[in-house]
Homo-oligomer: A and B are copies of this chain.
Amino acid sequence: MTDTYKAILIIGDGLGDRPIAELGGKTPLEAANKPNTDRLAAEGECGLMDPIAPGVRAGSDTSHLAILGYDPYKYYTGRGPFEAAGIGMDVKRGDISFRCNFSTVDDSMMIIDRRAGRITEGTSQLAAAVNNMQIGDVTAIFKESVAHRGALVLRGPGLGALVSDTDPHEEGAPVHKCAPLDPNDAAAAKTANAVNEFVKRSYEILKSHPVNIARKEKGLNPANIILPRGAGLAPDLRKFDDLNEVTSACVAETGLIKGVAKYVGMNIVDVPGANGGLDSDVTAIGRAILDSLKSHSFILCNVKGGDVAGHDNQPKAKVAMIERMDQMIGLLLDIVGTDTYIILTADHSTPCAVMDHSGDPVPIAFWGPGVRTDNCKSFGERPVLGGGIGRIRGTDIMKIITNLMGVQEKFGA
């Protein structure tokens, strides 16, 4: 450790919201009782942050890419590569990666259940049965994720990512053929052929697999086909630590965020009890941050619960999650020294009324030595208005942090 200053960047997933009648016209952040979070705002410098650009609805992956300093318009070609990296697959430059579902189809390839009865057991045996499939000069690498989910990586010469999904996204519909988005795109056509062959063979292999025979005997929908979607070409990203002159670790709950972080070379810290839900062990997350801070100068932390409550339109659950996060922030404030910056923001808004990500900006606070403390007294969408940060974008954040940490090279003389 040669760095003088350290920084903890806390992303409350989907924390931004809109005024909610049930909360007296406040947002969950404005309604929550969160003394530690508000201390960050009162002692720090506040503003609004657009993860991508004003009004743009960000995904968690594109937003985290932007927040970490990588322009998603330049580097994001699809969710697949980050999802695959997030479950520990070794994605290489040039690979085409997909998110997948185990699904249930009938003999005519009609979808009976997109999620194969939300299967939870036996998927690793099913995955092993289709993994390392050779399709001409293309190798199909498959790994299961949680429940009915998994990821497919196609590796071979001359593959393109611009192909359609096989998942029709509704039951009672036929499995879609993967096709190149542009019929003249030979690389995409090669990928589509490999995908279609993988899907066909997955059905042939899985329909009579012992795991599925046992499921049928129990009256459960068999996981008898794998449906890839969200194709993406693995982008060539510069390592985060090299770009920012830090030693970094990521403390996150979901595979997607861990995948983005792993992809840019951050050390991934797994936290037992950090389950991504409303009952996640936030104290364990806080301890993992403090522990990682001993050997790293920069910690990225994502806490997922607020987003879950937003997707489920549960304003009070969102308030409660913000209050639980506040305890974690209190733990950090008790322990960190005067050499540590804490930056708090969200990766996007997930308004309860929308039940999905929205393009509304999110609050941000920079706390630590030398920041230009402003008049903002609490952390929320409207309390940060008029703060010293004004309105910035996700790609500005690491520049501001490395400036405060004193590790950024000067541009010019």
A residues within 8 Å of B by Cβ? 18-19, 25, 27, 48, 52-63, 72, 76, 79, 230, 256, 351, 353-354, 356-360, 370-375, 381-382, 385-388, 390-393, 396-403, 406, 408-413
Contacts and interface: CB of A to CB of B under 8 A. Distances in A.
Nearest to A390: B391
A372 B19 contact: yes
A56 B411 CA distance: 8
A210 to B, nearest CB: 33
Given A371-B18, A382-B372, A57 B410 contact: yes
A53 B372 contact: no
A412 B71 CA distance: 13
Given A57-B403, A354-B370, 15 more contacts: A19-B373, A48-B388, A55-B398, A56-B403, A57-B410, A58-B412, A60-B413, A79-B413, A230-B413, A357-B410, A359-B400, A359-B408, A372-B381, A385-B390, A391-B392
A373 B393 CA distance: 21
Nearest to A406: B354
Nearest to A59: B412
A63 B154 CA distance: 46
Contacts of A351: 370
A93 B25 CA distance: 50
Contacts of A400: 54-55, 359
Contact of A412 (B79, B360, B375, B385): B79
Contacts of A359: 399-400, 403, 408
Contacts of A382: 372, 374-375, 388
A125 to B, nearest CB: 28
Given A53-B399, A371-B18, A62 B392 contact: no
> Lowest 10 A-B CB distances belong to which pairs?
A59-B412, A55-B399, A62-B412, A359-B403, A55-B400, A390-B391, A54-B396, A79-B413, A59-B413, A18-B370
A54 B375 CA distance: 20
Contacts of A411: 52, 56-59, 62, 72, 76
Contacts of A401: 55
Q: How many copies of this protein are present in the complex? A: 2
A186 to B, nearest CB: 26
B412 A72 contact: yes
Contacts of A375: 382, 385
Given A55-B396, A62-B412, A256-B413, A385 B385 contact: no
Contacts of A413: 59-61, 79, 230, 256
A58 B411 CA distance: 5
Contacts of A354: 370, 406
A368 to B, nearest CB: 11
Nearest to A381: B372
Contacts of A410: 57-59, 356-357
15 contacts: A18-B371, A53-B396, A55-B397, A55-B399, A56-B411, A59-B412, A60-B413, A61-B413, A72-B411, A354-B406, A372-B382, A385-B390, A386-B386, A390-B390, A391-B391
Nearest to A256: B413
Interface centre among A79, A351, A390 (most CB of B within 10 A): A390
Contacts of A403: 55-57, 358-360
A72 B410 CA distance: 13
Contact of A19 (B55, B256, B370, B386): B370
Given A72-B412, A371-B18, A411-B58, A386 B388 contact: no
Contacts of A55: 396-403, 408
A48 to B, nearest CB: 6
B48 A390 contact: yes
